[in-house]
Amino acid sequence: MEWDFGFVNSLNEYQNGQLQNLLALLNGKVFDFSKEDEFQWVHSVDKIAIFHWQTVQEGVPVKEVLGYRRCLRDITNDKCGWCLAHVESIDHLFLHCSWSYKVWSSLFNWWNVCWILPSNILEFSHDWCDGLGIRAKIFWKLISPATIWTIWMARNELVFNGSYMCWVASVERIKIKLMLVWCMYGYCSQVSLLMDAS
């Protein structure tokens, strides 16, 4: 069996190493296409799920939230580090910034799910996938939290280390991490869907 993950860019050395680990995990795996898919959150995945919940509760310390709490060190520097045009709010950072929007659009296209940009993170988190079918449910339960987490990590790299991560690289990182998690925790039946989606 040959795997096609649909990467649009060539992988760097780190990503290629992770991909090799993934392929080693996949080697020899047998998939049961007759069983219904199941989802569980375990171990490190819990951390991502909790962070997802924190974004909905406005508990993530973006610059706007820090400003409300009077904790922003430089009150004149409340702009998003990617576009420098809007206040870094939770909705802007995770959904509306052009950087994040490209990440979401790429992943939705990859997953072959149509979507409309939600007006806020709350709308995106409550019953978003109702009536949209199994592919949208998988996206909402698994890919969406991982995407929010990766956006936050990329944002922190920029804010604290001045390191800009291209949105394309973030998309590839999300894909590889998801595949690794699913394989390591025995979610291999999910992987078959990726083949259809690529």
Q: Using CB under 5 A, list all residues that contact Zn ion.
A: 80, 82-83, 97
Nearer to Zn ion, 100 or 190 (CB): 100
Min separation Cβ 4 and Zn ion, Å: 32
Min separation Cβ 96 and Zn ion, Å: 7
Nearer to Zn ion, 12 or 98 (CB): 98
Min separation Cβ 195 and Zn ion, Å: 34
C-alpha closest to that of 45 among 185, 175, 140 = 185
Nearer to Zn ion, 79 or 141 (CB): 79
Nearer to Zn ion, 6 or 67 (CB): 67
Nearer to Zn ion, 91 or 172 (CB): 91
Query: If 0-12 CB within 10 Å is exposed, 13-18 middle and 19+ buried, where does residue 137 land?
Result: middle
Backbone angles phi, psi at 97, to 5 degrees: -60, 145
Min separation Cβ 97 and Zn ion, Å: 3
Min separation Cβ 101 and Zn ion, Å: 9
